[in-house]
């Protein structure tokens, strides 16, 4: 699409030239810039302060070697990243991803989106992201530990409770955070709870952080449905993926009256017309670290289909993509629309291609974008940081209630912002605008620090 604003067109042109080999990053930037046209037009101080040029360029990119020794005594080398994207409203905050597909483009798109997502939570957190192309699949527990220790040996130089606070993402859960936390403590001599979130409950972690992204996604979706006279009650739900976000999205969607009929991993998907029990998924993926195919050992009447893309052809009312970026394309959107889907809300980061988003919105499907819909995870990380600072622990119910309130607020703010710019119901635009304005104001207030 051609940009109407000359300023935005120039900024995008420049970023596209400079980052020509970073498609995911450019995809994320383009969407935000498209959304910001009306606010940039109205407020010349954005251009005068070079806010767009500055917000698009990370404050700092750290790339480093991670060497570790595998169980056969062979030296392995991976590439580590931490992108400290924007610190206008708080310390850099965002997860760490361990997956062979990780590269600079992926980490930059995630870090860029994190700025706006964290702003939407209403908590004082800047944007950042990190990770490595290390593949945790098939690695022994000791190999995971040695990798995490080596990763932290470099990361320690760059993080801190008031500078940069990493957490989990794909391939990083409580186990990996534990190994990293242990190494951080060994290197610094500090029991510094505030330096990482997603810690174990009882060792500085927050109750409900594990569940938070999936629960938050369903709280957000429920608000979006409610505003349109609908609910989860009696609805068929697809949740793609079977990791942290997907598992607890399943649990909450079921609690709210939905029936989760399909879930997936990177190899294939399962369909269970009686509803998939999240406890079985948790057992398969978290305890056994096995493939989702083994669901058939627990529920022989269920169906397994090889290849994960076909999951979107299963008839449903609500689709919750919770696996990875660009997993739901235009063709998948066509299938969902043909099956009369009511709502799509993104648990993963950027799971829908631009083509899919455009098709779903044009067909009148309620669409909850990742920055808003999956913000419950990082919001609860923010609550974990608050508890660490106070040296107190809140109950599960307290944290869950706060998470719920935050998600309701995010829906309201995104929805109001969409109206303000004359695009009522467009939560993609609303989330981008609401997230951006707060960061832009803080950047102006601080002058040109970066």
Active site residues: 129
Instruction: Name the 3-class secondary structure at 131.
Output: strand
Cα–Cα distance between 66 and 214 in angstroms, integer?
31
| Nearest to 428, CA basis, from 53, 86, 113 | 113
**Which residue among 221, 242, 251, 387 contacts ligand NDP (CB under 6 A)?**
242
- Cβ closer to ligand 2IT: 29 or 383? 383
Kindly state whether residue 166 participates in binding ligand NDP, applying the rule CB under 6 A. no
**Which residue among 80, 90, 95, 369 contacts ligand 2IT (CB under 6 A)?**
95
Judge whether 206 and 171 are in contact, CB under 8 Å. no
User: Residue 171 touches which of ligand NDP, ligand 2IT, none (CB < 5 to 8 A by kind)?
Assistant: ligand NDP
- Cβ closer to ligand 2IT: 281 or 379? 379
Choose one: 34-42, 180-188, 248-256, 376-384; the region binding ligand 2IT (CB under 6 A): 376-384
**Which residue among 114, 206, 251, 374 contacts ligand NDP (CB under 6 A)?**
374
Cα–Cα distance between 196 and 184 in angstroms, integer?
10
- Cβ closer to ligand 2IT: 206 or 254? 206
- Cβ closer to ligand 2IT: 178 or 377? 377
Q: Using CB positions, name the residue nearest to ligand 2IT.
A: 95
Cα–Cα distance between 21 and 40 in angstroms, integer?
27
Kindly state whether residue 346 participates in binding ligand 2IT, applying the rule CB under 6 A. no
Residues 312-351, mask of contacts with ligand NDP (x by CB under 6 A)? ----------xxx--x-------------------xxx--
Cα–Cα distance between 48 and 1 in angstroms, integer?
25
**Which residue among 126, 243, 368, 435 contacts ligand NDP (CB under 6 A)?**
243
**Which residue among 126, 171, 178, 382 contacts ligand NDP (CB under 6 A)?**
171
Judge whether 114 and 86 are in contact, CB under 8 Å. no
Kindly state whether residue 351 participates in binding ligand 2IT, applying the rule CB under 6 A. no
Strand spans (E) along 143-266: 164-167, 236-239, 259-264
Kindly state whether residue 167 participates in binding ligand 2IT, applying the rule CB under 6 A. yes
Q: To the nearest 5 percent, what fractions of the chain are helix, strand and coil?
A: 50, 15, 35
User: Residue 197 touches which of ligand 2IT, ligand NDP, none (CB < 5 to 8 A by kind)?
Assistant: ligand 2IT
Strand ranges of the sheet holding 268-271, from the earlier edge strand across to the other edge: 303-306, 268-271, 259-264, 236-239, 318-320, 343-345, 366-368
Beta carbons within 8 Å of 268's beta carbon, 6+ residues apart: 292, 293, 304, 305, 306, 307, 308
Instruction: Name the 3-class secondary structure at 118.
Output: helix
User: Residue 103 touches which of ligand 2IT, ligand NDP, none (CB < 5 to 8 A by kind)?
Assistant: none
| Nearest to 47, CA basis, from 18, 103, 88, 7 | 7
Kindly state whether residue 153 participates in binding ligand NDP, applying the rule CB under 6 A. no
**Rg for the chain, CA atoms, rounded:** 21
- If binding means CB under 6 A, how many residues of this protein chain bind ligand 2IT? 11
Cα–Cα distance between 264 and 243 in angstroms, integer?
9
Judge whether 399 and 215 are in contact, CB under 8 Å. no
Q: Interface residues with ligand NDP (CB under 6 A)?
A: 99, 101, 168-171, 213, 241-246, 265-267, 308, 322-324, 327, 347-349, 374, 377
Q: Interface residues with ligand 2IT (CB under 6 A)?
A: 93-95, 117, 167, 169, 197, 349, 377-378, 381
């Amino acid at each position: 699409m051609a940009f109407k604003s000359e300023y935005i067109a120039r900024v995008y042109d420049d970023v596209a030239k400079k980052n020509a080999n970073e498609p995911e990053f450019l995809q994320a930037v383009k969407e935000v810039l498209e959304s910001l046209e009306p606010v940039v037009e109205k407020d010349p101080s954005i251009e005068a302060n070079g806010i767009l040029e500055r917000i698009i360029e990370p404050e700092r990119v750290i790339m480093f070697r991670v060497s570790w020794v595998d169980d056969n005594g062979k030296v392995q080398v991976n590439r580590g990243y931490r992108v400290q994207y924007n610190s206008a409203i708080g310390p850099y905050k965002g997860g760490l991803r361990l997956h062979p597909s990780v590269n600079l483009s992926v980490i930059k798109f995630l870090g860029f989106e994190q700025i706006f997502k964290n702003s939407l939570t209403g908590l004082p957190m800047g944007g950042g992201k990190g990770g490595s192309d290390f593949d945790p699949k098939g690695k022994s527990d000791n190999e995971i530990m040695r990798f995490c220790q080596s990763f932290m040996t470099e990361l320690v130089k760059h993080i801190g409770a008031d500078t940069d606070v990493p957490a989990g993402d794909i391939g990083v859960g409580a186990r990996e955070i534990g190994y990293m936390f242990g190494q951080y403590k060994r290197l610094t001599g500090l029991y510094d709870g505030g330096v990482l979130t997603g810690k174990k409950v009882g060792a500085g972690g927050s109750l409900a952080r594990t569940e938070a992204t999936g629960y938050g996604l369903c709280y957000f979706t429920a608000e979006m449905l409610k505003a349109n006279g609908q609910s989860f009650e009696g609805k068929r739900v697809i949740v793609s993926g079977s990791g942290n976000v997907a598992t607890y999205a399943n649990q909450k969607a079921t609690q709210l009256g939905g029936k989760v009929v399909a879930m997936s991993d990177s190899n294939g998907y399962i369909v269970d017309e009686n509803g998939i029990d999240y406890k079985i998924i948790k057992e398969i993926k978290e305890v056994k670290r096995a493939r989702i195919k083994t669901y058939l050992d627990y529920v022989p009447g269920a169906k397994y289909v090889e290849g994960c893309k076909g999951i979107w052809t299963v008839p449903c009312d609500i689709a919750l993509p919770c696996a990875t970026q660009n997993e739901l394309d235009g063709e998948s959107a066509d299938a969902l629309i043909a099956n009369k889907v009511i709502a799509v809300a993104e648990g993963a980061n950027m799971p829908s291609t631009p083509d899919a988003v455009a098709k779903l919105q044009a067909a009148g499907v309620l669409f909850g974008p990742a920055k808003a819909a999956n913000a419950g995870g990082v919001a609860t990380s923010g609550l974990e940081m608050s508890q660490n600072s106070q040296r107190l622990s809140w109950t599960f119910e307290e944290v869950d209630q706060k998470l719920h309130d935050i998600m309701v607020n995010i829906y309201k703010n995104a929805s109001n912002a969409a109206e303000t710019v004359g695009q009522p119901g467009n939560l993609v635009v609303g989330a981008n605008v609401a997230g951006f304005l707060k960061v832009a104001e803080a950047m102006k207030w601080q002058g040109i620090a970066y």
